[in-house]
Structure 1
Amino acid sequence: MAALLLAVPFPIQSNVVQLSSRKAKMSLSVAAVYELKEGQSRVFHRLPSGLRMEAIVQKPPPGVEGLGSPPPLVFVHGSFHAAWCWAEHWLPFFSGSGHHCFALSLLAQGESDVPEGSSSAGTLQMHVDNVADFIRKEVNLPPVLIGHSFGGLIVQSYLSRMENGEGEDFLPLLAGAVLVCSVPPSGNSGLVWRYLFTKPIAAVKVTLSLAAKAFANSLPLCKETFFSSTMDDHQVLRYQRLMKDSSKLPLFDLKKLNASLPVPSIPKNSVKLLVMGASDDFIVDLEGLHETAKFYDVQPVCLEGVAHDVMLDSNWQKGAETITSWLKILS
């Protein structure tokens, strides 16, 4: 497993996660903000650029791994998040079902390295290339790629490049893909303009919360932006601190991103795709959900009583169970 650096997990365990039989260069990492759960390890993948990309890894517990051959799952977060957002609930849940799970932190997010002299973490193409490099070198079977919010746009770009002739030569093939409260293929401009004309107060709140990063210092605004009203305030405060510390640079330069959109269409989508949204999503509205589903000619799934951060929300099980049902059909 060239290009992978393994850090001491928290809590410390005697058995180290081995992702492949290839030799890996190992070194210790500085203590991370997010404290790992039992069975999880933090690893650092060395990209071709020389920068390190954090991944939180959780493989199935003993006795579960041999039950069938479920595909590995690779998770890609959105803005202000990192690998930890999947490690909280979904990695234990899906590894318990036999899936080998990998949650990535894109560059300048979480514990990943920060590109020098850059005003953003990278372009859409760069993020796709980094995800593809990780899958190519660290994942032994075609995975299901799962993206949330802007991470969903990265997954869409990955699919487009793979399906438009670059798959066999450049991008590793996928077993499937899941878009969770994803930014539509046209970007977030349509969402912004709809809010401005139909929900001006919400538009101001979204702008303050995300563009001005006001969510980081306001508990009510953070809760309204990402979570259900039923979420415990102490839990929201914990996630708020993690989000505040996760993003060293903006995930994208939005002007450059919008200039590269929409994501190119896929002539014939051979990859099974689940498009999932949430009824109480403050960021991606139902029209955005249906735009994405229509683009890929699939029927969307809308989770009732769940907010934007589906994997962290008080009803996080709804999204996990929906994906589990879909994975059974996939296999």
Structure 2
Amino acid sequence: MTTPTPVIFIHGLWLHATSWNPWVELFREAGYEPLAPGWPGDSDTVEASRANPDSIADHGIDDVVEHYTKIINGLAVKPILIGHSFGGMIAQKLLGQDLAAAAVAIDAAQIKGVLPLPLSALRSTLPVFKNPANNHRAVSLTAEQFRYAFGNAVSEEESDALFERWAIPAPGKPLFEAAAANFNPHSPAKVATDNEMRGPLLLIMGGKDHTVPEAVTRATLKQYRHSHAVTDIKDFPDKAHSLTIDSGWREVADTSLSWLKEQAL
């Protein structure tokens, strides 16, 4: 009897790990062994995470990578990684370090070397950048800010419901680290994009995403041009940053499953 392949789901800023629950159920039905651990400092529930933002604060990219590396090292085989937003960046870093069999990076935060900085991305992250002290704090979004950053491709009612259900405070530090990446030779946002031996990578982008616009994902793809390892890209023109949690999540999840099957994973 073969052991099911583990799949680790990695959330991004402002969403709780339990927002992956529908994906976890779907992947378990498909024969995988899914896990959706939170970031360091996250509490087990949305409510507890909102009540304890200080434990979430001040965790940077390296802290999150180390956290997931320990989880991976406890597994019998290399997992598949599926990450959204900053979780997509973390997934790429771990894949580049040969810690994963494959990765799906959905609307992934910009890695070192990616230059486009669209205005919508600046507006989405303004709640963090408007105060330099937020580098060491956890920052919460309002429902209106969430609507712009995540829910702009769904109805206001659906966006507000997603905000109430899944939104939690997020550490400001990863955003400051990513913003300074191209000025820091040792940036934690650096990914081993030239690794020839890594597993396959699928980049997924939403055409209406304000937080990680298509230009960022296309520039990310170019960073992998020096590697012959499989790097694919899939565009969902009508989806925004909420594409993993809104009413259209199943299309994105099914695309991820189909791609993994094509890679014999």
Match of 2:23 in 1: 90
Structure-1-length-normalised TM-score: 0.63
Match of 1:254 in 2: 176
In the alignment, does 2:258 pair up with 1:295?
no
Q: Higher Cα Rg: structure 1 or 2? A: 1
How many Å apart are 1:252 and its aligned residue?
2.5
Which residue identity does 2:154 align to in structure 1? T
Q: Secondary structure at the match of 1:125?
A: helix
2:101 to 175, 190, 199: 175
Runs (5+) with no aligned partner, structure 1: 1-65, 163-172, 196-201
**1:139-178 superposed Cα distances (whole Å, 9 cap, x missing partner):** 333210111111111122222333xxxxxxxxxx422111
In the alignment, does 2:124 pair up with 1:206?
yes
In the alignment, does 2:74 pair up with 1:141?
no
How many Å apart are 1:282 and its aligned residue?
0.9
Match of 1:239 in 2: 162
Task: Name the CA distance, whole Å, in 2 between partners of 1:216 and 1:115.
Answer: 12
1:13-32 aligned at under 5 Å gives the runs: none
In 1, are the aligned partners of 2:113 and 2:223 still within 8 Å (CA)? Answer: no
1:126 to 63, 86, 89: 63
How many Å apart are 1:117 and its aligned residue?
9.1
In 2, are the aligned partners of 1:191 and 1:284 still within 8 Å (CA)? Answer: no
How many Å apart are 1:313 and its aligned residue?
2.0
**1:267-298 superposed Cα distances (whole Å, 9 cap, x missing partner):** 31431111111111111111111112222243
Which residue identity does 1:185 align to in structure 2? I
Task: Name the CA distance, whole Å, in 1 between partners of 2:196 and 2:56.
Answer: 36
1:226 to 142, 150, 154: 150
Match of 1:306 in 2: 239
1:185 to 93, 107, 111: 111
How many Å apart are 1:322 and its aligned residue?
0.7
**1:164-219 superposed Cα distances (whole Å, 9 cap, x missing partner):** xxxxxxxxx4221111100232277x343x32xxxxxx466324455469973233
In the alignment, does 2:194 pair up with 1:263?
no
- Write 1 or 2 for the structure with the bigger share of helix: 2
Task: Name the CA distance, whole Å, in 1 between partners of 2:89 and 2:224.
Answer: 13
User: How many residue pairs are counted as aligned between the two chains?
Assistant: 241
Task: Name the CA distance, whole Å, in 2 between partners of 1:82 and 1:118.
Answer: 11
Task: Name the CA distance, whole Å, in 2 between partners of 1:69 and 1:119.
Answer: 37
Match of 1:6 in 2: none
How many Å apart are 1:302 and its aligned residue?
0.6
Match of 1:167 in 2: none
How many Å apart are 1:83 and its aligned residue?
0.8
How many Å apart are 1:106 and its aligned residue?
0.4
How many Å apart are 1:307 and its aligned residue?
1.1
Task: Name the CA distance, whole Å, in 2 between partners of 1:294 and 1:288.
Answer: 10
Higher RCO (C-alpha 8 Å, min separation 6):
2
**1:79-135 superposed Cα distances (whole Å, 9 cap, x missing partner):** 112211211x211221121111101210123439989899512x3222112101112
Q: Secondary structure at the match of 2:141?
A: helix
Match of 1:72 in 2: 6
Q: Secondary structure at the match of 1:216?
A: coil
Task: Name the CA distance, whole Å, in 2 between partners of 1:95 and 1:308.
Answer: 24
Which residue identity does 2:203 align to in structure 1? V
- Give the 3 Å change call, closer, same or farther, for CA 208–115 of structure 1 in structure 2: closer
How many Å apart are 1:226 and its aligned residue?
0.5
Task: Name the CA distance, whole Å, in 2 between partners of 1:99 and 1:187.
Answer: 34
Runs (5+) with no aligned partner, structure 2: 131-137, 226-230
RMSD (Å) for aligned C-alpha atoms = 3.2
Task: Name the CA distance, whole Å, in 1 between partners of 2:163 and 2:31.
Answer: 31
Of 316-325 and 249-258, the range deviating more from structure 2: 249-258
